[in-house]
Structure 1
C-alpha cells in the first residue's frame, strides 16, 4: 500500500502496527516519532544510526508501515505539510531565500485587480462581517481593528460561545462578508459560504490556493500563499493584503473616515486608553 493511497499519518501508522513490530523495529519507530518535526531532513542511514539499528531494520520498518522506502516517507510528509500540518520538510531554511519568497508572495497578493472591488464594497456596505478560524482569526481581527478606524458597523467572529449562524443570519444585500479561509479550515466552511451567498451579501474570500473548491460560492476570491520552507504557515502576505484593503477603504471614504479617526484619537486621549 502506497502513501498516496493511505492518508493516515505516520504517527498513526506506527500506533496501529506497533504490536506487529519486532523490538528493533519498535526502537526505530520510536526514533521516527522523536524526530517527527524534522524527519524529512534526515537520510535513512542517519535515522538508523540514531536508533542504533541496521539500515535493513529501518527499511523493514518503512515497509511494515506501508511505504516502499524513505523517499516515499518524505513524499508523505510533504503531502501533510501541504495540507497545513506544521513540520519542516526541506531541512534548515535559508533565511535569505525565505525572505525573497515571502516578498514574492506579498507582491502577488497586493497586485490582484480584485482588491479595488473589495475596497469599494466594504466602503459602501451597511455592515461588514469578518470571519476567521484558527490562524486565520488573528488576521481577521486585524482587519476589523483597521476598518473600525475608517467606518462603523464592523464585526468579527466567531465569538466564543456564539454560533456562526447567528452572524450569517444578520447579513443581507447591503452587507459584505470577508472570510479568511486558510488551510485546515473547519468542516462547515463550504456550507457557511453557500448560506452567506444566499443572503445576497457580497462575499470576499481571502485564502490560499487550497480553497479553490469554494470559489463558486463567493463574489470575489483574493489569493494569498501561506506555505514556506518553515514548519508553520506564514501570514505575511495576508497581513499585508489586509492593510492594503483597509488603506483603500480609508482613502475611499475620505473626509468621513478622517473625521472618525480624529474622534477615535480624541476618545483615546480622554479616557487615557493609549499611550
Structure 2
C-alpha cells in the first residue's frame, strides 16, 4: 500500500482540479495500482491526459511518477504483517528496552496516521460538532482514556460527559442520553460482554457512535459504528499501549477546535473566568 501517497491525496483533496480528482479516485480505489501500472495507464483509467497526471503528481509534491513508485516499493518492503503482540527473543536490558519501546510506539503512531482516512476524521468531527451532548466510554484500562477524552473535550465545548458504570450501574448514565448525542467508544481487547448491550442501547437511542479501537477490530466495529478510527497498538504483550489512541483523541480535539473556533474560544474564556473567580490557581 502506498500509504504516504494516500495521505498526501487526502490532505490535498479539496484543492485538486476536476481532472486531478479523477486520478485520485482511481488510486484511492486501488492502492496497489502505483506498482502495477504506468502513469499513462493510470491517466487512461481516469479518463484524463498524461499531462494532467504529471501535474497531479507534482501537486502532491513529487518530482515525477518514478519517485512515487520508488516510495511505494520502499513501503512494501518495510511493511510487516500486523501483529497485536510483538514477539522478540532478544535479551531485555534497560538500554535495549528503551530503544525497542520507542521504535514500537513510533511504528504504531506512524502506521495509524498514514492509514487514517481524512474523510473519517471529518465525519467524526461533524458528528461531535452537531451532537447535543458527547459521551465517552471505555472499559478496563480504557476507562482512564475515556476520562481523558472527557477532559479534552470539556475544554472545547459544553455537554461533555463520561459514562462511569460505577458499581455496574450503567443505567443512571444511559438514562440521560438522547438522539443525536455522540458516543465515543474506546475499545481495545479484551472486551466485556456488557459492551454489546450498551452499544445496542445506544443505537436504539439513535446515538451517533465513534469508535477508537485496535486495527484488528476495525471491521467488527464498523458494523455498529458511524465512524471507526482504527489504531495500531502492537505491544510486547506485557502491558497494552495507549499512545496511539491518546494521540487520536487529541487529533479529534484539534479537528473539532478547527471546525468550531468560536465555540472553543468561548469555552476557554468561560473556564478561565470561573478559575479566576474561584481563585484556585497560583
For the criterion TM > 0.5, the same-fold answer is yes
Superposition map of 1:93-172 within 5 A: 94-111=97-114, 112-113=116-117, 114-161=120-167, 163-172=169-178
Find 2:208's aligned residue among 180, 202, 205.
202
Deviations 1:142-165 (A, max 9, x none): 111110111111100224246223
The higher radius of gyration belongs to 1
**1:230 CA drift (Å):** 5.6
Q: Deviations over 1:13-42 (max 9, x none)?
A: xxxxxxxxxxxxxxxxxxxxxxxxxxxxxx
Contact kept in structure 2, 1:133 and 1:158, CA below 8 Å: no
Structure 1 vs Structure 2 CA RMSD: 2.6
Size of the aligned set, in residue pairs, is: 193
Which residue number in structure 2 is paired with residue 35 of structure 1? none
Alpha-carbon separation, structure 2, partners of 1:273 and 1:109: 39
Question: Where does the alignment leave 5 or more consecutive residues of structure 1 unmatched?
Answer: 1-80
Deviation at 1:134, TM superposition (A): 1.4
Show the counterpart of 2:45: none
TM-score by length of 2: 0.61
1-side partners of 2:246 and 2:164: how far apart? 19
Matches within 5 A, 1:1-150: 91-92=91-92, 94-111=97-114, 112-113=116-117, 114-150=120-156
Partner residue in 2 for 1:234: 241
How far 1:82 moved relative to its partner? 5.3
Distance 2:200 2:173 in 1: 14
3-state secondary structure, aligned to 2:151 = helix
Q: Which residue of 2 aligns with 1:4?
A: none
Any conservation in 1 of the 2:199–2:224 contact (CA below 8 Å)? yes
Return the match for 2:259 from 252, 261, 271: 252
Rounded Cα–Cα distance in structure 2 between residues aligned with 1:274 and 1:89: 50
Of residues 267, 271, 275 in structure 2, which corresponds to 1:264?
Answer: 271
Work out the CA distance in 2 between the residues paired with 1:103 and 1:250. 26
Residue deviations 1:206-247 (CA, integer Å, cap 9, x gap): 111353434311111111222312611110001111111111
Alpha-carbon distance between aligned partners in 1 of 2:160 and 2:237, rounded to the nearest angstrom:
33
The aligned counterpart of 2:181 is: 175
SS of 2:178 mapped into structure 1: coil
Deviations 1:170-207 (A, max 9, x none): 33332110011111221111232122122211101111
Tell me, yes or no, if the aligned pair for 1:89 and 1:231 is still in contact at 8 Å.
no
Matched residues in 2 for 1:268 and 1:194: separation? 39
Cα distance change of structure 1 residues 272 and 205 upon mapping to structure 2, 3 Å threshold? same
* TM-score, length basis structure 1: 0.63
DSSP 3-state at the match of 1:103: helix
Rounded Cα–Cα distance in structure 2 between residues aligned with 1:231 and 1:216: 30
Unaligned runs of 5+ in 2: 1-82
Change over 3 Å in CA distance of 1:188–1:162 after alignment to 2: closer
